[in-house]
Structure 1
Amino acid sequence: MNAVDRLWDHARNAPDSIALRVGDQSWTYAQVRDLATAWADRLVRAEVQPGDRVLLVAPTSQEFAVVHQAILAVGAVGVTVNSASTAVELEYFLTDAECSLAIAWHETAEVARRAAEATGVELWTLEAGDIEMGPGADLDLPRARETDDTAVLLYTSGTTGKPKGAELTHGNLAACAEIVSGTLGSDSSDRVGTALPLFHVFGQVCVMMATFHVGASLSLLRPFSGEALLRMAAAHQLTVLAGVPTMWNAMLHADVELSRDDLASLTHALSGGAALPLAVADAFRERFGCRVLDGYGLSETTGAGTSAKLSVRRKEGSVGPALSQMKACVVDPEGNPVAPGERGEVALAGPVIMKGYWRRPEATAEVMRGEWFLTGDIGKQDEDGDIWILDRKKDLVIRGGYNVYPREIEEVLYTHPDLREVAVIGVPDDRLGEEVAAVFATHPGREVDTAQLRAWLEERLAGYKVPRIYQEVRELPKGSTGKILKRQLDRGTVLDQGVKVTRERSVS
């Protein structure tokens, strides 16, 4: 098997069906196959062998999609990384993965060149339009691979040390594509669109590979703006839209004249990368008439794990039950399942669980318990099997002996009509060990009085959960996927610049 088999099947059986759209350009499945074959020919002539690692540094584009398919088609391993990576970061990826070749987008070519020269790796520059190379050789593609052969290396964020490469196999990618498309009930008539980065597991596998799995069309947008993505959805008459919470928030508040009538073809919206506040999901459905399905997964689980069901309204704050073919549970520190409603670590099992961390058996052993992958996320599960993600282990705030889960507070804050973005973190406190702080950005033209905000929260949360420190910012830091990066919030700055709001009836 090969993870790109289905694209070649569609090119043979439905050659004129549209596979890719970017702006007013489009490519059929036969054209994408031929373009990927030409790139595969170039890789073969460069003596890239099955199992060789090839670094791909490129933004969301038709070029990324074609080159990625070519790398997998020849049996090589795609190492797809953030196109904004520094030379030092690229040097680390090249060295750690022992890449034999690097392919970098022309806008980042100088940075990539420094990393390639430092590691002695050959570099190819990928120019816009470089996929139009003419026909390749008559290769027998895709090359057959074993289900357990590594297809891509996706490096984790490295928040607990150096980034680790999650080895996702051809079987993992094919299973994820089947599970996601099956969950959405997708078929070849669908028109899927996204502005997600394709180097990330969500955009690359859950969206792109799942779309190609059923022979649907994929519309790509770069750069992202809420207005531009909504306009693309209307112009391309998209049936499925995929994004992260900050994207839905941006679209929800975009100043466009589009209405639910303009997006009448949009039947499904898929959210991932971080938990989606229910208030945002409900408001999006109210404005545009489309339900946003919130899913949960990690790079190590090929982006899949749990998802809300199409036929049932999502329980407030829940990311739904395990997806088809998957299992989910919540366990204690010894790995034993806890009772429904109790907090513990979320564990996942199924055909999308990674092969392991690249050449890190000790790190792999730390997160694997037989078939179960320990996610590092704190959660709870009800008797129906629905999962609530409360926080990362590292994000837990212990305030005077009380466990405070920022995710729960953020859910409440997102229901405030004046707040656009929020992040709740722990900051050092001499008396309590940690204090709860809320960092927020308001909607344009809105103002928030912090004392009134605290009073508003005290009506909705237990006293020990209510933040005592508030800092207003213009915008919260975000990663390449649009996910809010709490770890880039300087705790010292929050302490210095935040407003400490005390009230006589506050609970310690």
Structure 2
Amino acid sequence: MTGAGRADRRGGGLASLARRLPLDLGPLFDTLAEQRPSVDVRLGRPLDLAPEGGTSWDTAGLAELVRETAAWLAAAGARPGSSVAIVKRNHWDYVLLACAAARLGAVPALLSDRLAPDGLVALLNRLRPDVLVTQRDVLAGARAAGHELGGHAGRTVCLDGPAEGALTPDELRGGAEPPVHSRGDDEPLAVIHTSGTTGVPKLVVHSTRTLIRRLSAFEARPWPVLSVRGDDTVASAISFAHGRALTWTVSALWRAPRTLALLPDSDPSTAAALLRSHPPTVLEAMPSTYVRWQHLADEGGAAGNPFRDVRLFISTFDAMHPPTVRAFLNASQRRRPLWMQGWGQSETGPLSFRFLTRKTLSASAGRHPTTRDLGRPVPGWVRVKVADPEQPGRAVRRGETGMLYARTGALCLGYLGEPERWAQKVHGQWFNTGDLGVHTRDGRVLVLDREVDMVPGLSCVEIEDVLHERLPDVEEAVLLSVADGRPQPVLVTAAGDLDPQRWQDAVRDLPPLADPLLVAWDAVPRTATGKVRRHELREQVLAGSSPIGTGRWT
């Protein structure tokens, strides 16, 4: 039995809570309108799904919007068992569209508009959606690259007006409201894609059991510190095309905070207005977003500091560097603000997390500062082992580097259209994360690098942590492995340059590195979750070079 299975048996535990949660996305907002009517939902900009609705909603209004959306999706051809692909600019209405599709018994597939047209077409060909919901700029961008997205779906619906070969929601409205279609706990509920840092993303299929009963139910429990409270203002600035948006929406709204603030745009000038008018007490954002907002945090105790009341910062999706964590913790005027850094994957959900404090970060002074220590696996929920990737059954000794394998009841159902790739990653009940790491003697997990990005004898991510610490004007540091040479640093600096002597001082005690290459922030290719596409960056700055890692387990 998995750790999650054992947890379900403890005094009712998660199983008891899951029975009270709305277990399907379809009727989610109907239930919330009944049981959580007081939550005030505030948006950074109006929904693309309902631009006339403004930036303030309650759960009753959202429930009505989901029902209306389900009706026009049904008119477009969505039905039980069908696939509805959603590709649009980032906003929380990804979740509302997913709920509307699930209400019909269809399977929503959330695809980011940040995908390159070739990659998007590859995913649509795996999905074969009955309905594609998108926007004009997505269709135009694909057309400019030689692709007609409408040819890869039964019907195309364009949210923001007429487009060649597409219907609009207005043309589909007027039909009867379809009934809620229930599904089994282990049937496909939603499809999401992985970050795609090394190429075309994988399509991850999750069920009600893995997404809701496991992940949402775990987070909806009344955990000390971690749980959302009734007087909280909870802000989220993530990629809403990610599965995290679905699980977080269920758990956060079930906890009934006073206000939910949703930021679809990480641009500081647009995000600051919502953050200042509704100062968050709990804030979750992508690492790249925290970096973009760091100058807002550096305002310190100024009246305009939007982070003054945050008691809990949360980061997932990618590595966080110590100076950024320190800046936000110092921006909070709470006595003991916490930073929760999580490690997990689209296929598994969270695997481990660690709380950082002001003291934790100050204690690293004089040493190589790093946030690679990601704490211990969630007790009774996740097991992690470090093993030889060629012999998954052979665990390496504590303190030695190996491939990180996870065992969890939240493991997805598989990869859509790529069963062979899935089979290569799963060994019995253990999932190969593709990450290299170390299990310390006291059970903590140190994540070093993705296997594909590895350099023998060092951690690229740790070196990046050190560079950020020693060079405060570096906004992004990426260390690329080079099979036939020294690791190549690629830097983004605020001023666009870097004094050579400062560089030499910063790397004085580090392993030998190549001279840094300086690029602009916008020149760094990123995924929808803000991760650097290292493979693509390599092609830009080191054309023809090869990494050291194999990439077999990405």
TM-score (ref. length: structure 2): 0.78
1:8 is aligned, of 30, 44, 68, to: 30
Q: Deviation at 1:405?
A: 2.4
Matching residue's letter, 1:458: R
2:520 pairs, out of 468, 474, 484, with 474
Residue equivalent to 1:424? 479
Q: CA deviation at 1:257?
A: 5.1
Unaligned 5+ runs, structure 1: 497-508
Question: Aligned equivalents of 1:230 and 1:318: distance in 2?
Answer: 31
- Pick the aligned partner of 2:317 from 273, 277, 295: 273
> Which stretch has the larger CA shift, 382-391 or 160-169?
160-169
- 1:25 and 2:55 matched: yes
Match of residue 409 from structure 1: 463
Count of residue pairs the alignment pairs up: 480
* CA pair 107-189 structure 1, distance change in 2 beyond 3 A: farther
Unaligned runs of 5+ in 2: 1-22, 46-53, 162-167, 362-369, 545-554
CA pair 151-88 structure 1, distance change in 2 beyond 3 A: same
**Alignment-derived partner of residue 300 in structure 1:** 347
Structure-1 separation of matches of 2:500 and 2:533: 23
Q: 1:178 aligns with which of 186, 198, 217?
A: 217
Aligned to 2:495: 444
Q: Does 1:369 align with 2:438?
A: no
Provide the secondary structure at the position in 2 that maps to 1:284. Answer: helix
Q: 1:211 aligns with which of 252, 272, 289?
A: 252
Residue equivalent to 2:90: 60
* RMSD between aligned residues: 3.2
| One-letter code aligned to 1:337 | A
State how far apart, in whole Å, the 1-side matches of 2:421 and 2:158 are.
34
Secondary structure of 1:118 counterpart: helix
The alignment partner of 1:424 has SS state of strand
C-alpha separation between the residues in 2 aligned to 1:108 and 1:221?
21
The answer to whether the Cα contact below 8 Å between 1:78 and 1:151 also exists between their aligned partners in 2 is: yes
Superposed, 1:64-463 pairs within 5 Å as 64-111=94-141, 115-119=148-152, 121-127=154-160, 137=176, 139-141=178-180, 143-158=181-196, 162-174=200-212, 175-182=214-221, 184-202=226-244, 204-216=245-257, 217-254=259-296, 259=301, 262=305, 263-289=307-333, 290-302=337-349, 304-309=350-355, 313=360, 316-323=371-378, 325-333=381-389, 334-335=391-392, 336-398=394-456, 403-416=457-470, 417-428=472-483, 433-444=484-495, 448-459=498-509, 461=510
| Conserved 8 A contact 1:422-1:440 | yes
Moved more, 481-490 or 94-103: 481-490
Letter in structure 1 aligned against 2:516: Y
Residue 482 of structure 1, CA deviation: 2.0
Q: Decide whether the 8 Å contact of 1:57 with 1:80 is kept in 2.
A: yes
1:484 counterpart = 2:532: yes
Superposition deviation, residue 391 in structure 1 = 0.4
Q: Give the 3-state SS of the residue equivalent to 1:72 in structure 2.
A: helix
CA distance in 2, matches of 1:353, 1:255: 36
Structure 1 contact 166–299 (Cα < 8 Å) conserved? yes
Match in the other structure for 1:502:
none
Residue 454 of structure 2 aligns to which amino acid in structure 1? L
Taking only the aligned residue pairs, the percentage that are identical comes to 22
Cα gap change, 1:84 to 1:277, in 2 (>3 Å): closer
Change (3 A) 1:469 1:209: farther
1:436 maps to amino acid: P
CA contact (8 A) 1:53 1:97 kept: yes
- 2:160 corresponds to which letter in structure 1? E
AA at the equivalent of 2:525: P
Distance 1:107 1:259, change over 3 A: farther
Cα distance change of structure 1 residues 185 and 62 upon mapping to structure 2, 3 Å threshold: closer
- Structure 1 stretch 481-490 or stretch 342-351: which is displaced more? 481-490
Using a 3 Å threshold, how does the CA distance of structure 1 residues 257 and 360 change in structure 2: closer, same or farther? Answer: closer
Residues 1:493 and 2:532 aligned together: no
Report the counterpart of residue 499 of structure 1 in structure 2: none
**Alignment check: 8 A CA contact 1:427 1:436 kept:** yes
Q: Is the 8 A contact 1:441 1:474 kept in 2?
A: yes
The 1-side partners of 2:265 and 2:138 are apart by: 16
- CA–CA distance in structure 1, aligned partners of residues 220 and 120 of structure 2: 33
SS of equivalent to 2:481: strand
Q: How far did residue 313 of structure 1 move?
A: 4.6
Return the structure number with greater relative CO, CA threshold 8 A, min gap 6: 2
